[in-house]
């Protein structure tokens, strides 16, 4: 079940659930996997990304976690982030997770790359390192990685390297970029490519209209993202937009670079999907004020979306 260019829908960026003492919480991991791929109707999961706290896991933990999720995921596709400072580590992880049954891997460019040729050369080297048979996702996230790729550079990468099957699109702004890439396809200068969008979904309404195949992002209501994608594909634009608009205040709040993961884990905990919102050290905790803000947003969202109707939060002892 390898990833290919027909992939679409929602591949949710998965957080890693921890116990408050820092151990991986396997029960939450299983429950979360079941929820994402079952009730939430996501098509796949992307694990070991930045928002999965991957750098805090050692090699053995990373592989064990990948195997556990892949084993539980059944037919759904699991994509594993293998971005690494060196090709040796990238190769080792990529080959390990593919043997464990992953659908594909995701690679982002290192932040020191400059010039179009240097970017293209890097991905040639990456494919040489992992081998030509592993399907991979090109991550285009200039805000985080400091590397900008024009549509023409993406086309060079896609045309040079057949194992690149998907773009994780999170350039910002990026609407015209999607339109340009789809135009390249339509005019025949680029082969078909799956495009899934990131940035917490904050442009997903228009990204779908521009030709995206879905989302690859983290948001505490991935079930909403999946519903939005289905509505968009069914041509139900206004219903999709109503749903999106109801969630936008929360999407925007969760998108904050620093506390975003803490918000996401808190809401997943409040929804009963994971047991604790703990991050492995070093992490960021929500302040009392921030938690109250999230609760306010949840309460308002609950007026429009039953998924946000939650029991009152448990009292916390002072942090």
C-beta of 137 vs 178, nearer to its own copies = 178
Q: Which stretch binds its own copies (CB under 8 A): 29-37, 54-62, 190-198, 221-229?
A: 54-62
- Tell whether residue 205 is a contact of its own copies (CB under 8 A): yes
Phi, psi of 13 (to 5 degrees): -70, 115
Q: Which two tokens stand for residue 43?
A: 């098509």
Residue of 21, 58, 312, 318 interacting with its own copies (CB under 8 A):
58
- Tell whether residue 56 is a contact of its own copies (CB under 8 A): yes
Distance CA 137, CA 122 (A): 14
Start-to-end C-alpha separation, the chain: 45
> What is the SS3 assignment for 18?
strand
Residue of 4, 34, 61, 305 interacting with its own copies (CB under 8 A):
61
Q: Which stretch binds its own copies (CB under 8 A): 6-14, 200-208, 220-228, 267-275?
A: 200-208
Shortest CB 34 distance to its own copies, Å: 26
Residue 214's closest CA among 9, 7, 14?
9
List CB contacts of 127: < 8 A, sequence separation 6 or more: 136, 161, 163, 164
For 99, half-sphere exposure in the C-beta direction (CA atoms, 13 angstrom radius) is: 9
Q: Which two tokens stand for residue 212?
A: 């995206």
Residue of 23, 38, 71, 117 interacting with its own copies (CB under 8 A):
117
- Tell whether residue 191 is a contact of its own copies (CB under 8 A): no
- Tell whether residue 99 is a contact of its own copies (CB under 8 A): no
Site string for its own copies, 233-272 (x = CB under 8 A): --------x--xx--xx--xx--xxxxx------------
- Angle subtended at Cα 127 by Cα 122 and Cα 131, rounded to the nearest 5 degrees: 155
Q: Which stretch binds its own copies (CB under 8 A): 2-10, 101-109, 117-125, 155-163?
A: 117-125
Residue of 27, 176, 234, 285 interacting with its own copies (CB under 8 A):
176
Q: Which two tokens stand for residue 196?
A: 């899934």
- Tell whether residue 152 is a contact of its own copies (CB under 8 A): yes
Q: Which two tokens stand for residue 271?
A: 């929804």
Cβ contact 158:190 at 8 Å: yes
Residue 151's closest CA among 122, 124, 118, 116?
116
> What is the SS3 assignment for 48?
coil
Q: Give the footprint of its own copies on this chain (CB under 8 A).
A: 54-59, 61, 84-89, 91-92, 111-112, 114-118, 121, 125, 128, 142, 147-150, 152-153, 172-173, 175-176, 179, 202-203, 205-206, 209-210, 241, 244-245, 248-249, 252-253, 256-260, 281-282, 287, 289-290, 293, 300
């Amino acid at each position: 079940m390898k990833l290919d260019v027909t992939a679409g829908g929602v591949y949710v960026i998965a957080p890693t659930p921890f116990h408050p003492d820092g151990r991986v919480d396997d029960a939450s991991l299983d429950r979360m996997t079941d929820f994402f791929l079952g009730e939430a109707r996501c098509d796949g999961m992307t694990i070991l990304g930045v928002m999965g706290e991957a750098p805090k896991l050692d090699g053995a933990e990373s592989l064990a976690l990948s195997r556990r999720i892949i084993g539980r995921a059944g037919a759904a596709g699991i994509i594993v982030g293998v971005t690494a400072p060196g090709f040796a580590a990238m190769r080792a992880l990529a080959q390990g997770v593919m043997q464990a049954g992953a659908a594909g891997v995701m690679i982002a460019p290192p932040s020191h790359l400059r010039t179009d040729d240097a970017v293209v050369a890097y991905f040639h080297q990456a494919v040489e390192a992992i081998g030509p048979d592993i399907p991979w996702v090109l991550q285009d996230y200039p805000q985080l990685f400091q590397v900008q790729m024009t549509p023409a550079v993406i086309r060079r990468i896609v045309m040079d390297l057949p194992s690149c099957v998907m773009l994780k699109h999170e350039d910002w702004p990026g609407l015209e970029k999607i339109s340009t890439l789809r135009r390249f396809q339509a005019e025949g200068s680029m082969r078909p490519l799956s495009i899934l969008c990131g940035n917490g979904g904050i442009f997903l309404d228009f990204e779908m209209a521009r030709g995206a195949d879905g989302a690859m992002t983290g948001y505490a209501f991935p079930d909403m993202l999946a519903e939005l994608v289905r509505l968009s594909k069914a041509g139900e634009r206004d219903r999709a937009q109503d749903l999106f608009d109801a969630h936008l205040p929360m999407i925007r709040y969760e998108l904050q670079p620093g506390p975003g993961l803490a918000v996401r884990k808190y809401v997943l905990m409040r929804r009963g999907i994971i047991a604790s919102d703990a991050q492995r050290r070093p992490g960021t905790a929500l302040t009392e004020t921030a938690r109250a803000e999230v609760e306010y947003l949840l309460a308002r969202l609950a007026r429009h979306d039953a998924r946000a109707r939650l029991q009152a939060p448990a009292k916390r002892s002072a942090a």
